[in-house]
Structure formats: C-alpha cells, structure tokens
Amino acid sequence: MLIPIYYLLLRAFQADLPTVWALLTRPRTGQLLVNTFLLTACVLALCTVIALPLAWLVSRTDLPGRRVINVLAVLPLAVPGYVMAYALIGLSGNYGFLNQVFGVTIPRMQGLWGASLALSLYCFPYLYLNLRAAFAGLDQGLEESARALGCGPKEVFARVTLPHLLPALMAGWLVIGLYVIGDFGAVALMRYEAFSFVIYQQYTAAFDRLYASWLALILIAIALSVVWWESRLREGASYARTGSGSGTGSKRLKLGWAGKFAGWSFSGVVVFVSLGLPVAVLSFWMTRSAIGPVLQPLFNSFMQSLSVAVPSALLAALMALPVAVLAVRYPSRLSTLINRLAFVGYAIPALAFALAFVFFSLQGARWLYQTHLLLILVYALSFLALAIGPIRSAFYQTRPSIEESARSLGHGPLSVFWRVTLPSIRPGVVAGMVLVFVIAMKELPIAFLLAPTGFRPLSITMFSRTSEGMLVEAAPYAAAIMAFSAIFVGFVLRHDKKAG
C-alpha cells in the first residue's frame, strides 16, 4: 500500500526546488484547486437538497408508498457518475433524445453544472442512507421537549433535529466528497478541468509526468486533509440523551392532502431525473441501431471486465482476512495501525493511486507494467477497505470461546481457522467479495491508466465511445454497466435492516 506512494514522491522530487516551486505556483494549479473546490461544494449542496427532504419523508411522515420510495431512492447507485454523464449528454443537442422525441433542443450539458448534476444524481443515495438511519435512531422525545418549551417547528428542526443529524451528514459528505475529488469519468465527459482529469491529460497527452506526479500528490493531500478534518470535527461530540428514562418511540407526522401531494411530487421528480432519465435515454439510443452485431463485442468486453473483477475480489478477501484477524482477535497499537493503513487505498483518489503504481512498476518492477497482474493487485488494494468491513463485522459476531474449545480438543491454529472460524465468517467474506467484485466491474480511472494493451472492459469501451460522440455504440455498454451495478444496489437493499 505504501511502496507506490514512495515511488510517487521519489518521482515528484526528482526536480530541483526552483522547478518544483514553479510547478506549484502555476496559475493553472490554483485554478484546478478552485475548480475542484467548486465542484465538490456544488455536489454536496445538491445531494443535501435532494437527500434530506427525501429521508425525512420516508422516516418521519405517513406518506403513502414510502417503502417504494425508499427502494427507488437507493437505485440510482446503479447508475455510475460517468453513465449519468452519458445520459445527460445524450439528452441534449440537435440529435439528442429531447429533440428527436419531443422536438425540444437544449444546449449540451458540460462544465461545472453538467459535472455537478451528473455526480449529484449518482451520489445522493450515500447521504440519503446515512440520514434515514439517523432519523430512525433520533430520540423524538428531544423534539417533543423543545416543542413543550415553546419552540416552533422551524426552531425545533434548526436547534434540535439538525444538530443530531450532523454525524450522518458528515459521514455522507465525507464519502461523497472523497468520490467527487477523485472522480475522472464524469468530469472528463463534461469537459470540466478538475484535478483528476488534468492528471490524466498531463500523463497521457502532454507527457509532463513531473507535473502529473505533483498534481497527484496535491490531490492525495486534499483527500487526506478532508478525512482528517472530518475526524477532528467529530471529536468530543455527544449526541446521546443523558437524562433518565427511555427514549420516545417513532411517531410519524400525518400529512394532509397538500403535504402528500408535495411529498409525492418531490419524490417523483427525484426518481424521474435520477432513474427515469438515464433509462429513457439509454433505451432511445439502443433503438437507433440493431443490437445483434454488438452482442459479440459486448460479450468480449464483459469477459475482460470479469477477468480482473473476479481475481480482484478473491485477492482482496485474502488480504482482508489477516487484517481483520489482527484487528479483532489481537488488538494492539500495531494491529490498529495496520488496520488503518489498509484503508489508504480507498481514501486516496483512484487516479492518483494508479499513477503511483505506474511509477512503481516503471522504476522498481518493470515486468509488472501494463499487465493483468498489476491491474488486479491495484484493484484489490484500492478496494481492500470494502472487503475488510463485512469480514471484520463477522469476526466480531463470532464467539472466541468456540475457537478455544476447538483448540482444547487438539486442533491446531490452521485447523481451527478452516473448520470453525471460516464457516462462521463465511457470510462476511462473501459480502466483502461481492462488494469488491461489483465495484471492480464498473471501475474506470484505474483501468484507464493501468490497462494492458488491448484490454477493453465495459467501462473503458463505454467511456471512449461516449467521449468520441458515438452515443449509439456506447449505449449497450452503458446498459450492461447499469445492470451489473444493480447487483450492488440489490446487495445494499438486502442487508438494509432499517428500510421503510
């Protein structure tokens, strides 16, 4: 996890100090900082505007159909940001969906607002899930006490409800912010110059690898500072009740006809834009040509995606097992450090992480450069945190006394692990592998930078054809990505214990 970062630093500091200073003080570097900040701020704002009212309607009101709305609010996770960008691009222009079907022409979506909308429509479910869980766990007796003291509805929300939603907001903002900072597909298709897009341009087109390495380090520093600030803001905060007695059970606000109409209208607009729009645009472009000739190339692309996603999931699970064992069974400062380092690959933006491995393979292991093995290794390290979570939770739920009983009967450590521990944690291992598999199937920036010659998975093929304006040719690949991303959404919904 750390060696490639070392090689990235080594490559960056090959230049002398005046050259480094000139690179860092370029006007373009400052503009990239501003652009990335604006994009992140816009996406966080839009996600909050969408997710907060939606979570409140599902968790706190008697709105009819809220269980269906809950499912539909999570389904946009099946539409990755670059697929959503494809849908928005396919909607506009003279040959777009709106003009061909309804005779309405809108300008091509691009730049800050195009990228913000595409990323927001994909990311808001992350915030919605956090907020809905927070609403469900909030003691409503606190709100009732505030109302009994004379506070109006707005004051209760501002002074009681919102502060108790802050941990959920910050958790969702952290996930979304890290994703936006490192996103490549949506910003590239929308022609918005954020850090990740320019890093790729500098490395592949301008061949200015020194500047690319420094941009990658700046991007890593931004991401890690976001994680650090989020943890600092949570320090010392307390959100539990301190008085005697039990909390008040969940009570739903009864909406009148006007409130129900407003709730349905808001939910309907969100679902239509985040789900109906990409499905309609994809369906339109897929009907513009025969599907038969593309089936064989689509199958080949799918098999190439599968050829790295399956071994990546297996490798991530194998690497996660010892980390989880150390964290749960042998807690210490060293095991805590190892556990935290395992999350480095997920916290670092994907393109910067991939670039670090480029420099590592070129300078320290040239035989790895542009091989399937390197791509699988980087996938496994980048998504290792996704595998650790479920496996570690399974270890926590497995009683150590069972393992101790097996050892007392004469079984060695390996026998105990194989015959006792592994069957107990198998659901967590499978869950971790499924998460890594589905994410790897649709991953774009790492594949773009590390893909071997001739390697054309679903994500690269779809992105390349969209960026070249070949929307008809890109549609089947975008539809396939959505279908496989739906596996991830189904997995989330299946394990969601607080639905509705």
pLDDT at 153: 67
Condensed to tens digits (0 to 9), the pLDDT of residues 305-323 reads: 999 999 999 999 999 988 8
Q: How far apart are CA 73 and CA 276, in angstroms?
A: 12
Q: How far apart are CA 309 and CA 88, in angstroms?
A: 28
pLDDT at 462: 92
Is pLDDT above 60 for 422?
Answer: yes
Tally the domains of the chain.
Answer: 1
**436 touches 386 (CB < 8 A):** yes
**468 touches 189 (CB < 8 A):** no
Any idea which residue has 């998460």 for tokens? 435
The stretch 347-370 carries a mean pLDDT of 86
By residue range, what is the domain housing residue 317? 3-234+256-494
Condensed to tens digits (0 to 9), the pLDDT of residues 117-157 reads: 999 999 999 899 888 878 876 766 666 677 777 776 677 77
**Backbone phi, psi, residue 246, to 5°:** -100, 160
The greatest distance separating any two alpha carbons of the chain, rounded to the nearest whole angstrom, comes to 78
CATH number at residue 372: 1.10.3720.10
Condensed to tens digits (0 to 9), the pLDDT of residues 385-413 reads: 888 888 887 777 676 767 667 777 777 77
CB under 8 Å to 60, separation ≥6 — which residues?
A: 135, 252, 253
Instruction: Decide if 110 is inside a domain.
Output: yes
Q: How many CB atoms lie within 10 A of CB 160?
A: 20
The stretch 171-191 carries a mean pLDDT of 88
Closest CA to 270 of 486, 61, 110, 70: 70
3-state secondary structure 62-91: CCCCHHHHHHHHHHHHHCCHHHHHHHHHHH
pTM for the structure as a whole: 0.83
Handedness of CA 426, 430, 431, 436 (dihedral sign): positive
Share of the chain above pLDDT 90, in %: 26
Condensed to tens digits (0 to 9), the pLDDT of residues 436-492 reads: 998 899 888 899 889 888 899 999 999 999 888 888 889 999 999 988 888 778 777
Q: Which of 29-33, 145-149, 182-186, 254-258 has the lowest mean pLDDT?
A: 145-149
Instruction: Decide if 434 is inside a domain.
Output: yes
Tokens of 343: 């999350």
H helix or E strand, kind and range, residue 27? helix 27-60
Instruction: Decide if 355 is inside a domain.
Output: yes
3-state helix, strand, coil in the chain (%, to 5): 80, 0, 20
Bridge partners, residue 253, by sequence: 61
Instruction: Decide if 500 is inside a domain.
Output: no
Is pLDDT above 50 for 431?
Answer: yes
Q: Given pLDDT bands bounded at 50, 70 and 90, which one contains residue 500?
A: very low
Instruction: Decide if 243 is inside a domain.
Output: no
Instruction: Decide if 8 is inside a domain.
Output: yes
Is pLDDT above 70 for 230?
Answer: no
Bridge partners, residue 61, by sequence: 253
pLDDT at 226: 79
The stretch 207-222 carries a mean pLDDT of 80
| Angle at 48 (CA atoms; ends 44, 54), nearest 5 degrees | 150
| Angle at 119 (CA atoms; ends 57, 288), nearest 5 degrees | 105
Closest CA to 214 of 436, 26, 435: 26
Instruction: Decide if 413 is inside a domain.
Output: yes
Condensed to tens digits (0 to 9), the pLDDT of residues 1-22 reads: 888 888 888 888 887 788 888 8
pLDDT at 375: 94
Packing angle, helices 66-74 and 471-494, rounded to 10: 120
Is pLDDT above 90 for 116?
Answer: yes
The overall average pLDDT reported for the chain is 83
- Neighbour-count burial for 178-206, b at 16+ CB within 10 Å, e otherwise: bbbbbbbbbbbbbebbbbbbbbbebbeee
Instruction: Decide if 32 is inside a domain.
Output: yes
Instruction: Please report which residue ranges of 330-421 form alpha helices under DSSP H.
Output: 333-341, 344-347, 350-363, 372-382, 384-397, 400-408, 413-416
